[in-house]
Structure 1
Amino acid sequence: MTLRLGRHSFPDDATLMMAIVNRTPDSFYDKGATWAEDKAFDRVAQVVDEGAEIVDIGGIKAAPGVEIDEAEERRRVVSFVARVRAAYPDLVISVDTWRASVGRAVCAEGADVLNDAWGGADPELVDAAAEHDAAIICTHTGGVTPRTRPHRLAYDDVVASAIADTTAYAERALAAGVARESIVIDPAHDFGKNTFQSLEVTRRLGEMVATGWPVLVSLSNKDFVGETLDRGVGDRLLGTLAATAICAQAGARIYRVHQVPETRQVVDMAWTIAGRRPPARAIRGLA
């Protein structure tokens, strides 16, 4: 399916890198490295130079912590979105938020995508996307409350649950007026899942791709990688890339990442092996 993310369109053979930019002082991976606005802007410049098509700006870390109300979330992200839009008119800007009020505010400043990591916790988020002709990411969280960790969640079939919930969310977004080509589904590794469940989603991602909705995966340095390999947060790149290769082979379209160039090479190689992308050059044995 051709993807339309706000004002930007991508053909159905395109894979996209969504680079993470945290406007938080306590993010699990970078520990606040891009909390200061100028540092966050430098991060945007870096990932654009590395080839990221999308930046995903977030004002609240996913894990439990200090409560961040709507006003504080807006303070962290709205003016920053405006600054990035002014500097990079051709960049896709995504904002990681579950609040419709924040979604409306960032779209008014030029955001193209609302990345709802919490599975429709605010039912009006789809309306915010529709009002601004923005794209929306529909995730599966098993119904957990935002910013809580999963505890002994049980599924008869975690992949069937992910498919049912994300496609229902997609249909709800469609009914609200979001364009079909602007709706993406995400199994949401680690969110509402233990490590075994995230591994199963990875192994069977092709079933989500087979729904016809474009699939995003957010694998980068996640706990399921760390627990699988017994690695700390700063030592999960190789495991992340292995999981990325599996998801790329299955046909995921968007990859939410910390490390852009490494992920791009893995995705391009996997898509080429799968026959979806030609080699950049192929002269061996021919010239």
Structure 2
Amino acid sequence: MEYFRPIAMTDAARPEGALTLAGGWCWFDRVEVLSRSAPARVIPALDCPDDVLHRLTAPRPDFAGLTLDRPRLMGILNVTPDSFSDGGRYPSTLAALARGRQIAKSAEIVDIGGESTRPGAAEVPVAEEIARTVPAIEALRGGGMRGPISIDTRKAMVAGAALRAGATFVNDVSGLSFDPALGPLVAKARAPLVLMHAQGTPATMQEDPRYGNVLLDVYDALAARIAAAAALGIDPAKIAIDPGIGFGKTAAHNLALIRGLSLLHGLGCPILLGASRKRFIGSIGGAESAEARMPGSLAVALAGFAQGAQITRVHDAAETRQALRLWQALNTGDQEGSA
């Protein structure tokens, strides 16, 4: 089997005949052909099979009401006592409301989670996860927030309560592999869904992660999860995919996935990149504490923008928005918000 990775570009000197990547801000005229049994090679984009070109170039449908012709930011709001970066900072509904409003000034999406999925984390009871997340969602909606809110959960009962409270879509780190009731619930609600790749559960995923070829393995696994979701009645046009940086991956695995991220456009879904403040950023960048990893997180976010990732999940929404504005002005000529 061959895999086709578009070599994404943003340079203003766009050759005649170059193709637009996923209806977004990147273009490509070459494709790297990857295989498990042969050396990689580069071919002209127009030499790709027609079905591959269609998946690589077709504009992505709106996701949760957002057009995907420009990068979108998802700001993280963890209402947990133990998340690796910001656990315990927003213990009350009032604190969560204030933080959510702050995030929404810079990010189009607010992602609310009530269960830590850091390496080694234990499972949280359903009732406790609901008690943490639903009041925050209700407070944000009651306070006038109209933008998308995602519920970061692996559990059907939590997702159902969150959707009833006003959440827009479900962000499942297990890719529908944890709770068999979650897929049917999402299908019935006709809610958008993020399918993330993870090897193992948070409690065990970093013990000894191994892959034959991490980029191709993750591609195949996500393709299988998309097919499984569609078989449950979930509209593929409402699915986004996440390679799961740090979820059952070493630093080398994470780097390989980010370098080759544009391959995932071949799945035909929007790409969500969530690498903010992850451990590998601290290891490479020399930042022991999660709070000190913002500069490295920005570097990774910019790498994702350059490969056409439509949604980027971040802790530092205001700082990432500033970096994105400068990146857009330099690379795409978009100076929205500039004076």
- What TM-score, normalized to structure 2? 0.76
Aligned equivalents of 1:279, 1:104: Cα separation in 2: 39
RMSD: 2.1
CA deviation after TM superposition for structure 1 residue 202, in Å: 0.7
| Residue of structure 2 equivalent to 1:266 | 323
Q: 1:130-160 deviations in whole A, cap 9, x for unaligned? A: 1112111111112x02443412211111111
| Residue of structure 2 equivalent to 1:33 | 89
Deviates more, 1:242-251 or 1:70-79: 70-79
| Residue of structure 2 equivalent to 1:193 | 249
CA deviation after TM superposition for structure 1 residue 224, in Å: 1.2
Aligned equivalents of 2:181, 2:330: Cα separation in 1: 41
- 2:230 is aligned with 1:134: no
CA deviation after TM superposition for structure 1 residue 97, in Å: 0.4
Aligned equivalents of 1:10, 1:46: Cα separation in 2: 19
Aligned equivalents of 1:188, 1:176: Cα separation in 2: 22
Aligned equivalents of 1:260, 1:43: Cα separation in 2: 11
The alignment of Structure 1 onto Structure 2 pairs a total of residues equal to: 277
The one of 116, 135, 145 aligned to 1:79: 135
SS in 1 for 2:86: coil
- 2:302 is aligned with 1:245: yes
SS in 2 for 1:21: strand
Aligned equivalents of 2:335, 2:101: Cα separation in 1: 28
Aligned equivalents of 2:265, 2:191: Cα separation in 1: 22
Aligned equivalents of 1:99, 1:176: Cα separation in 2: 16
CA deviation after TM superposition for structure 1 residue 40, in Å: 0.9
- What TM-score, normalized to structure 1? 0.89
Aligned equivalents of 1:282, 1:255: Cα separation in 2: 21
Runs of 4+ that moved beyond 6 A: none
CA deviation after TM superposition for structure 1 residue 12, in Å: 2.9
| Residue of structure 1 equivalent to 2:35 | none
Q: Percent of aligned positions with the same letter in both sequences?
A: 31
Q: 1:74-117 deviations in whole A, cap 9, x for unaligned? A: 11112322222222342211011001121111112221111111
**Tell me, which stretches of 5 or more residues in structure 1 are unaligned?**
none
Deviates more, 1:225-234 or 1:175-184: 175-184
Report the CA distance shift for 1:181/1:265 in structure 2 as closer, same or farther (over 3 A): farther
Greater gyration radius: 2
Report the CA distance shift for 1:256/1:162 in structure 2 as closer, same or farther (over 3 A): same
Instruction: Answer yes or no: is the 8 Å Cα contact 1:206–1:251 preserved in 2.
Output: yes
Aligned equivalents of 1:4, 1:124: Cα separation in 2: 23
**Tell me, which stretches of 5 or more residues in structure 2 are unaligned?**
1-59
Matches within 5 A, 1:1-287: 1-5=60-64, 9-48=65-104, 50-63=105-118, 64-65=120-121, 67-120=123-176, 121-142=178-199, 144-232=200-288, 233-271=290-328, 273-275=330-332, 278-280=334-336
